[in-house]
Structure 1
Amino acid sequence: MAGGGILLMQLEHILSFQLIGLERYTLGDDSIGRSLVQTQRFFDRRSRDIVDESDENFSDAVLAYITKPDVTNEEIGLVENSGPNGFFTESIRPTLFLLRGLLARGVLGFVFGRKRWRVNYGLDTSRTPPTRLAVPYRAKDMPTSRSEFSHPNVVILLTLLCYYYGGLTDDHLFASFAHLLDTNQRDVEFQTWIQGAPKLPPTFRQLEGINLKDRAQCKSLVFPALRFNKRVVNYFLSHIVFPKEMKEFPHKLSASGWDIGKIKDYPTTAFSRTSNSQALLPLDVTYLDLPNQQHTNALVLDYLLQAENSVAFLPAGDLARTWLNMHTTESTRGVVFLNDSDEIVVLNREGFVEPLQTSAFANQLETCLVFLDEAHTRGTDLRLPQDYRAAVTLGANVTKDRLVQACIRMRKLGKGQTVVFCVTEEIRTKILESRPATREGAEVSVSDVLHWSICETFSENLGETSLAREWALEFLEDEAQDLESRYRPRKASAAALSTLASSSNPRNNLIANRCLQFEELEFHGSTLQEEQERELSPEIQQERQVQRPPAVDPVEHHIHPDMRTFVSTGVVEPCSEAYMPAFTVFSSIRTATSLDVSQLGGKRDLLVTADFARTVKKAGASNVSDANVVDCVMVVSPHEAQQLYPHICQSSTVVLHVYKPRWNVGFRSLDHLQFFTIPSLPEPRVVRPSLLTQLNLFAGQLACDFLGLASTKADGRCTLAADGFILQASDEAQGTLLAPRISPVPFLKEIMKIRKNSEGIGRTHVGSMLDGVFLTLSDFAAL
């Protein structure tokens, strides 16, 4: 220490040393423990740390950023203040915000933990207007008539789960194949499909072997192997469903149940089943706890706690076997249930279904079995015999209110009628987890069931209270939000409550006081539970007017004299206006503002002529979407090639090459520049790899052998940015032939988008590398 020494240590050694002193204390070795702790404190006070490979050592900061709902300013700074070449780059931000939304904001937890397929959500094929997105369900297999989920990522995830669980129909698969056949990447994409379809017959493992016109063959032999294939489902949703049906508007005017409870000239009277939800009532609505009704909630619970009520554990296999083997007795003559029109009907032994009230069973319910599902346990009133016993099956997220409403269908409960709660293994586990520690080891009882339902009620109230706060405060809401606006860290909920509490508006104070009644209130997940009904067509009358691109005049072709000199001599004039570095053609696009595009052009060894670069007369802002498509030749325009053809044939220094970018691994590569030359060459010329790389990038080639990004993970010889850009490398480890000073990934993505008319390139070599995927030898097996 006196000589300013340096300790070279691994991160694991430092952390282990911090713990070993505490471990010595716990083992009773106080002397060694005290010495180690004092040494650690000395290092904390008298030393400074220099951390190498900080992106790895500070990975806990990234983990906290994407998993903690409320991050501190220091934790935010560790991730976001990492400099232009650090982790928080433009290409990484959307992924980072999305991960934070899925994890820290609880989107994944909400979708998997609070929603059940075909119970809380599913598909609705009968809805008008039709939709192929997931919609809310009122009960099992009973979709709502008009409502939809409000949060876009909840819609996307629930829709994915619907098709993962239910599979694709024949019409969905025909639509997917029709779309696939119209793309350039059909062969590559189809190969990814069959990787997850081991049961697909070998005859149909090539796209050419599938005849969509033979619908019977497709339905019987091809589609069964692809119906539940995750890659096919993802393709169908990402290319057909989501682009068409996922929609958001800049703003929305919202109204909720709170608007019904506003103060008017005459009082509004409302009825509630229980007092459990009084904390969710609008501010102007007062709950009247009438003295003669105060005992009813406790009375129902007392009825359920009576000794004759019990709990039965039903394994799924035993339940199915029991129902299959059940035989009705002669005293049972019919079954009462509610049909699809919510009418109470009865089914007799002859199989005839008729309304209960007009049947012979209206006054003979003692001869009938009664089946009520969750959707019909409210408002259904049947006079059942006094000795009846009800089996109440319990599912996830059953609150006390819903449980009591189901049980109270037995109007004489506690006075002869009884119930038995039937639970599955999943629900039994949740009941055991929620009950007090004093009940550990005991059999599940009715009191445990009631305790669990009360806990579920509290959890539901927590979520709905934060949602009610949004209803109370918001009227005009921003609907269309990017990932940064929706998920970037914001103020903690405590700060939001303190702002409301200190507001001069007394109604804001009331909202804050009500929220403070609940501990651990989370506002960031409130919108996940929101459902909405859109009102669009009744208010909108529109006449569609298609705005086409403005007409432009073509630039007249012109051959600069320096081009004729170049063809004759092969000499490039340094300051000539006849040609320019190739990548300067794209200097006007948005992503080029932060990148010096001349860095990608080497030492002026890849040039384009002025006639090639200028295609139309531009009256306004520059637009590169009308750039000459690199299809036949490079460097010169087709007009120049035609006019200079006689001179090129006689030239001994210039050769005209035919070139086309490779957009599919099924195409042969032409970047060797030997496909067709004018004049013909007795032996191939050697072209520098760096020049070919520039040519391929400029033309938008999507399948290539090399790109100026890292091809392997970082080692001790180089430093990589989060998008794979090589920040620093030793001479022997130089991982790129091109050497821009900042990451060219956003710029290259924009070029490929222009060259491919906005089509996806995710299945190509370049598309994978620009997304940060390292390619292996197997990716080039088809080259």
Structure 2
Amino acid sequence: MLVINYFLNYFVFPREAKQFPHKLVSSAWDLSSSARSKIITGFSGTNDTQLLLPIHIRQDDLPELQKTDAIVVNNLLKAENEYYQSLAINASTDVILNQLVTHQLKINVILDVGALFIDGSNKEIATKWLALSDRNRIDYAVYFKSDSIFVCDRQDHEHRFETSPASERLDHCIFYLDDVHTRGTDFKFPKGFRAAVTLGNGLTKDRFVQACMRMRKLGSGHSLTFWSSHEVHQQILNLKKKISVENREEVNNNDPMGVMDILCWVYENTQQATWDGLHHWASQSISFQRKISAFEPIHWNDNQQVFTNEMMKELAEKCLEPEIIELLRMYGSPKELRTVFEMYSLRYADVGDASSRQIQQAVLRQLKKYGGKKRRLAQLLDEEQQRELEQELEEERQLQRPPAVQPCQPILHDEIKKLCEVNENVDIVSSRDVFQHLNYAFTNTTLFKICQANSWLPNLWVSTEFQRVIATKGESLTPFLRPPRWIVVYRNQQLIFLSPFEANWLMGRLPSNESPITTLRLLLPRTKRIQSIFVNTPTLTVPPLIRFANDNNANFLLPNDWLVQLFIFNGTLYFETVEEQTAFCQCLSLCPNPRTEAEKDAFEKEWIAADGFVANPEHRLSLQLHQSRFHSNPLGFIKQLIENRNNSYASIRSHVGSIILNSTKLI
């Protein structure tokens, strides 16, 4: 007995029997008070709930929109939407998804307005669906997480939809919209998309139509299929039989279910929901009248009033309602069946304030007009109901920012100083404490293992100072990868990336009176179509090459095979010429579309992968990829590097993005 008492007192009662002496109720009546001086404006695609609006709110439909409901219903009744399927009893997520995937019609969107997918999170459901989908056609699953749109790819990488390549490849996506997000969301689904609409218990027309209209081109390019739970199927079947009997029609159980049958069931639910809602609507009106009475003694001065603590306490006491209902009041009185009009006529007798008499009369008129003759037990309005309470702990929000890191103190090596001396020949290869090959820039980052160190040109270097950014030990350097902006072209043979500190020192010391075979140059990534990268602009080198235009040795422009590797290294997204694009594809061992006849044959022989990569060295020679540098598929590395350099994914509309994401050249 002690164990039972302990369990009840510490686990059951604190959670299930949590009550307060009083409650302060707020509703739509308070939000839209008739005392407001401004016009209240709202929007909805349907008007099914206008009977439940506060009595001082009048729905005013625009004439040009009054036909909207009829247009939507007409679109739903089109032949392309005539597919209905009932599910087994207690069908799980896996069972439903398997039926959707094996369905004869290709389904791209799940509109779970019936809330049939209950055994998993949105991500779990979406990724299960993605795993079952056709790999050649579908690459991403889109879903909602904490009211934000997320996308997951086949490698289980999760990203925000807005910055993901999936946002520009909707035809390669499947979409799972849970019940909450089948309203108020807007995706520009491509033409030809088909949705599976789930039907759950008590689904009303408002929710049903709102969900169906996520398919914005319904009736002109989008279509629907309907999937009901076993319980709903029985409800639709019984309603169909009832209607047939009332119309004196022959009942045939073998007749297929259609959209018309679904709409009849939805309208039936809407009537029931509206009738049930009248009880809550009338109760809310009583709470609203109680507040009007509480505020009536206050004398307003130009709508201004200073409330003292005593006034606030008095107002609160007048507005409070009892939370604890006595068992005698709930179950002790005789059971009586009454209409909703009769119930609230008696209740309003207790609220006798003259200021609310007008509201009472208006509410009772509406209850008499629409409440009907259906009766229910008056005690049920106060019946004890099990409520689902979300246990909330008191929280204090704390922002956890990245730990502070200590920057490195810049160092200027003697070898860097010697770069500007004409008569001094710096041995770059031997000075490994100052100069390292290009892949050294990725040291202590997540990119180091996948950068393919031997794929970079041997005359491309970084200074060790370029790689040094923070002094804090134990931190990954991926977020601190230095942007490559300054390069030295040394004796027209070696290219060295420098830190801004080193570049600043050299800027004023490179001689301008000698033949400038050593130049300091600015390099920018081309992130827009029409943008200069400056590296080959003669007027912007230090010293300016324009002064030595007649000296072929001095007027040195970086060749394409150098530029391409710089483009890869700095996250460039666009090319200036077809030659740059060709050199880029050659360097990465890619053979994207559009292809020649020989390349198409190679693709059919599987020499060329779906992403355009050519893995076999012999096949590269046959396809004339003579400038190939990367011998393992580099696309994962390129995507991560672009994301790091530009703080965003490569757009599929960009030259580089189209090649690495869609295997297609744009110029």
Per the TM superposition, whether the score is higher than 0.5 is no
Taking structure 2 as the reference length, what is the TM-score of the superposition? Answer: 0.42
Taking structure 1 as the reference length, what is the TM-score of the superposition? Answer: 0.36
